[in-house]
Amino acid sequence: QANRSRVKQFLEVQQRRFETELITLKEKKEQSNATTTTEKKTSTTASSSITTATRSYTKEISLYAWDQSDKFVKMYIQNLDGVGDLPSEQIRCSFENRGFSLEINNLKNINYVF
């Protein structure tokens, strides 16, 4: 059993990745089974395209830092590789008088919130 927060966080991410991969593989297997049974029933060669939805989950951002001055506050979110390559529509930030909220959607099938 892990005691350190980074190790726990890493293990949780790995577990979610494996669960997502397992679900995807099961869906592909069901899809291939479905296509083989439909090919047996029909004598025509019609191709059926079944799209599988990618599953994602939400994770809270827990690793961050900030820098502040009298007028500004800079937030540094760490360990989010590839966030700079995302389109701006997938990143939402709303500001309030005494706080803000940040949402990063679909970064490697994971949604991050702060």
Residues 14-44 pLDDT 10s: 888 888 888 888 888 888 887 777 666 654 4
For residue 56, give the nearest of 113, 110, 112, 114 by alpha carbon.
110
Q: β-strand 73-77 against 91-96: which pairing, if any?
A: unpaired
Q: What is the CATH number of the domain that holds 94?
A: 2.60.40.790
> Does residue 87 share a domain with residue 40?
no
pLDDT at 80: 84
Question: Against a cut of 0.85, is the pTM above it?
Answer: no
From 28, 54, 80, give the residue that closes a domain: 54
> Does residue 61 share a domain with residue 47?
no
Provide the residue range defining the domain that includes 89.
Answer: 57-113
User: Is residue 48 very low, low, confident or very high in pLDDT (cuts 50, 70, 90)?
Assistant: very low
> Does residue 74 share a domain with residue 62?
yes
Per-residue pLDDT reduced to its tens digit, 83-112:
888 898 999 998 888 888 889 998 888 888
From 31, 54, 77, give the residue that closes a domain: 54
> Does residue 70 share a domain with residue 32?
no
pLDDT at 70: 87
Domain count within the chain? 2
